Chain A
Amino acid sequence: DIQMTQSPSTLSASVGDRVTITCRASQSISSWLAWYQQKPGKVPKLLIYKASNLESGVPSRFSGSGSGTEFTLTISSLQPDDFATYYCQQYNSYWTFGQGTKVEIK
């Protein structure tokens, strides 16, 4: 099965910062990668699909890139609403989530 590894596990940042989260797959998954945002007590929300496509209604400060085994999620200017945990997910071969990256206030 395909393993997904995110880094860092925790990220401390300030409002307005540019934030980048990395996700690595144990084997090539082409562009079959999604990013989710989850806030405490809430269900995950789809942000990005197929590595770089912004889901409807998601602010344009979120962007995704990558293919093969290495992917990134970038928040261009961190907003107060963005403090949350972010998960990558591969859907090339069944489905696997990364372990999550918590973005916390610095």
Chain B
Amino acid sequence: EVQLVESGGGLVQPGGSLKLSCAASGFTFSDSAMHWVRQASGKGLEWIGRIRSKGNNYATVYGVSVEGRFTISRDDSKNTVYLQINSLKTEDTAVYYCTSPAPGRVECSGDCYPFGYWGQGTLVTVSS
């Protein structure tokens, strides 16, 4: 069974930093791209960014609205992907999800796919 378990959320003051983790199991993590998506309370889904596998040079890409303050990394030895957020703003308050490609739906040499597995999310609250 595939599991994605996020951790590291909490209450942070504006301007602070936070590093979220997502521990994966039940699939070959090292071969899989991983993504982060966030959702503010009562709002829609916002894609944050993606990190590819070692075979794809751990390539990262970020959404336009978050580029610069967010950094995705991974540790394949721990089956874990991370999201570092710096200079936190009140508008970063949201539930942060990690997600992975839907199995069997990957095309375009590995970079066209919908999301299949989701963690339950970790809440980040930015407030003074």
Contacts and interface: CB of A to CB of B under 8 A. Distances in A.
Interface in A70-95: 87, 89, 91-92, 94-95
B46 interface: yes
A49 B47 contact: no
B44 A99 contact: yes
Nearest to A47: B114
Interface residues of B, number: 23
Interface in A41-81: 43-44, 46, 49-50, 55
B61 A94 contact: yes
A55 B102 contact: yes
Contact of B112 (A38, A43, A91, A98): A91
A24 to B, nearest CB: 15
Interface stretch (B22-30, B79-87, B115-123): B115-123
A43 B37 CA distance: 11
A1 to B, nearest CB: 5
A58 to B, nearest CB: 12
Contact of A95 (B44, B50, B108): B50
Nearest to B101: A91
Interface in B51-91: 61, 63-64
Nearest to B115: A46
Given A43-B97, A43-B119, A43-B120, A92 B44 contact: no
B75 to A, nearest CB: 23
A78 to B, nearest CB: 22
Contacts of B118: 43-44
15 contacts: A1-B63, A38-B45, A43-B118, A44-B45, A49-B102, A49-B113, A50-B107, A87-B44, A91-B112, A94-B63, A95-B35, A95-B47, A97-B46, A97-B47, A100-B44
